[in-house]
Chains A and B, each alone.
Chain A
Amino acid sequence: MKFRAERGEFADAASWSLRTVGARATLPALSGVHLEVAEDRLTLASTDLEVSSELSIPVQAERDGKALVPGRLLGDVVRSLPPAAVHAEIIDDRLHLECGRAKFDLRTMPTEDYPPLPEPDPEAGAAVMKAPTFSSLVAQVARAASGDDARPVLTGVHLEASPAGLIAAATDSYRLAVRSLSWEEEIEGTVLLPRRALDEARRVADSLGGEVRLVLEDHQVTLFVGDRRLTTRLIEGRFPDFRQLVPTGWDRRLNVERVALAEVVRRVAVVGEANTASTPVTLELTEDAVRVTAGSGEVGEADETLPGVLEGEPLQISFNPRYLSDGLDAVASDEVHLEFRDELKPAVVRPAPVEGEEDLDGDFLYLLMPVRV
């Protein structure tokens, strides 16, 4: 293998590949980044056996070939190179890098233990989204996923794709986030994705822009962003029937400024959290105001009121403050609707529709369970 690459491109590619190298004591080869030169392109690939990544950059190839190189070392070295063309060559079991006057010599690793990386079936159903749409969808939904590995099903993001559109949902059993969008694509399938792959794809989508292509198979999902590809294994098991959790209507609806409410909730929660982290905040809703309180007794109490318009009877209801502010943060609109039945039934946060403005939130809802006090 022998090639000439542009330093910046090579460094970006190497550091991105590093994000999916694996750490397994029994399989040291996973710490490597797999390099392959063919047809004047260098393909870099890595896997931690859950998520695998691949990207290719243009190079001037003198000799095609493959090598497995310790990933962290490659990333560090390439980043430290001066801004000039990088000459790379494998001689025996070493990778020689030359850039200006700098010369490096890295060991390569034996490839016999390296697993072949999964590739998407070219026949599989696929759909394309704009990068910002994909990013906002992931940001809105993934926050409701559970961090508790003991129930793997709740750590994932559920995707239902059809020719008409996509529905994404996540729940940790205390709250539920659901976002849907419309498209016309040849795709059909329901999968449960580990959150990590989505977060990685979102990072790339945020930095590269453009489009995100989603390829669905029954055992894996692939996300293409520009010339980068992420393939992830899925979580098996039955995702809760989230539709039956969502109330079909409301008895009370609050229209309130989103950021103002979020700030009040955070301020007031500080006092409650001085007691214990899970001390709830209480919302007292009247015709034209929302009073937010928390805490009691020894440590102190907090109390703040802000304007809000209530349709329906007054209500007092309590929430875990983090779950409530998470829901408010998930929305981009200036105003939100909070829909209630009563103080025991789940509440729903939705963006308040604004006439004539671009809709950043799409069809989104965030449901959260109240806390009994």
Chain B
Amino acid sequence: MSAAASEAPPRGIWEIPGQPRAVEVLQRAVATGELGHAWAFTGPEGVGQEHAARSLTAALVCPHEPAGCGACHPCQRALAGTHPALQAFAPTGAMHRVEDVRTRWLPAASLSAGEGGWKVLHVRLADRMNLAAANAFLKGLEEPPPRTVWLLDLADPDALPETILSRCRPLRFAALDAATLADLAADLPFDDEGDRALAVRACLGSPARLAELADGGLAALRAHRAVPRRMRAETQAVAIEEAFAIEQRAEARAKAAAKDLADQRDELKELHGGTLPRELTAEFESAENRRKRDARTAVVRAALDDLASWYRDVLLVATGGDPAEAVHADDPEGLAADAAAIPPAALLAGLDAILTTREALAANAQPRLAVEALLMGLAADALGR
């Protein structure tokens, strides 16, 4: 243990921003020894589930009293996500596959606990299990080995069979509230306070999106919400331009994601003496496509979210609401202009079209065409044609 680590007061292991209820339930489960075998972490992606998995691991593997001191070597590795008691499973391709369940998940569960005496098995994006994978996993849930806890991240619990859900204790992870997001935003680099406040409102409760806005700036968001105005002022060609621009950003993000992965792979390759072990080669190959697709989807989805929140705000203003309560409260003139130009029925139809396109994104191989078609449709509505 380094001197610095023992001098600094340890951060409480349970300080998970914006999730006091989930924390309370987990803490009580650990304290009473009624942890059960499986938890369904329901709620939007990336609002503290990973943090909770690490905190729970720390609480289980810490040898001190009370457990979860936050300062010892086991606690620190648990919180860093490197303690062997915690194993995470991400989808290999677009989905979790039955082979993953058979060759990775179930053997991990059936091995006796190693260091720390526990196994915390965290299935990320667990709603991306196909039926065969779910059936294979169910067998593992039916005969849970001792001192083994499954954690399933579920943005969409309906995607899993009831037979699995009924064996998991549900735990709700809420979208982060404005105060929590403002706290997080305070530590992120924004150009000015106006941008910071807008990002907090426009990220719709997702800390990942908030960080992206801090990283990439708010120019794209401003371009998205200006689309109806620009289409009125210019031509429908704006739809094609903007769809193209969104695709460019999506490609750039996919490329960056692939590069991060390649850097990580090269680092591991060097550590393994110049040849990446076979199991890692396969892992990285399948991860690359998924990461690129996820990065692309995130960009397009964010663009559609920007448009949807703008349309909701315009509706709010059109129906006499207070623009100060809008997500896009920083642009009251823009809201008023669109509210005056687009009939309420067209706003509703537009919002509906945006959400439909967003839903279809995951399955869509050609997001640019879908976005272009959407924007063309919005233009037609917005111009009253």
Contact = CB atoms under 8 A, between A and B. Distances in A.
Given A72-B272, A72-B273, A116-B115, A152 B106 contact: yes
A31 interface: yes
A70 B272 contact: yes
Interface residues of B, number: 38
A363 interface: no
Contacts of B275: 72
A236 B82 contact: no
A115 B273 contact: no
Contacts of B84: 27, 49, 115
A236 B115 contact: no
B83 A233 contact: no
A26 B82 contact: yes
Interface string B265-293: 00110111111010110011000000000
B226 interface: no
B268 A236 contact: no
Contacts, number: 91
Given A23-B280, A113-B80, A235 B110 contact: yes
Nearest to B261: A25
Interface in A188-217: 194
Nearest to A32: B271
A50 B102 CA distance: 17
A236 B81 CA distance: 25
Contacts of A220: 112
B146 interface: yes
A163 interface: no
B77 A113 contact: yes
Contact of A233 (B88, B114, B146): B114
Given A72-B275, A115-B83, A236-B110, A25 B283 contact: yes
A237 B143 contact: yes
A233 B271 contact: no
Interface residues of A, number: 36
B223 interface: no
A112 B73 CA distance: 8
Most interface-central of A23, A32, A73 (chain B CB within 10 A):
A23
Interface string A24-44: 011111011000000000000
B235 interface: no
Given A25-B268, A235-B110, A113 B82 contact: yes
Contact of A23 (B73, B102, B112, B272): B272
B163 interface: no
Given A25-B283, A70-B271, A75-B273, A152 B81 contact: no
A76 interface: yes
17 contacts: A23-B280, A25-B268, A25-B280, A27-B82, A28-B271, A70-B273, A71-B272, A72-B272, A76-B273, A112-B73, A115-B83, A118-B114, A149-B106, A149-B107, A150-B102, A219-B112, A236-B146
Given A29-B82, A113-B82, 11 more contacts: A28-B267, A71-B273, A72-B273, A118-B115, A149-B106, A150-B106, A152-B106, A233-B112, A233-B114, A236-B110, A237-B143
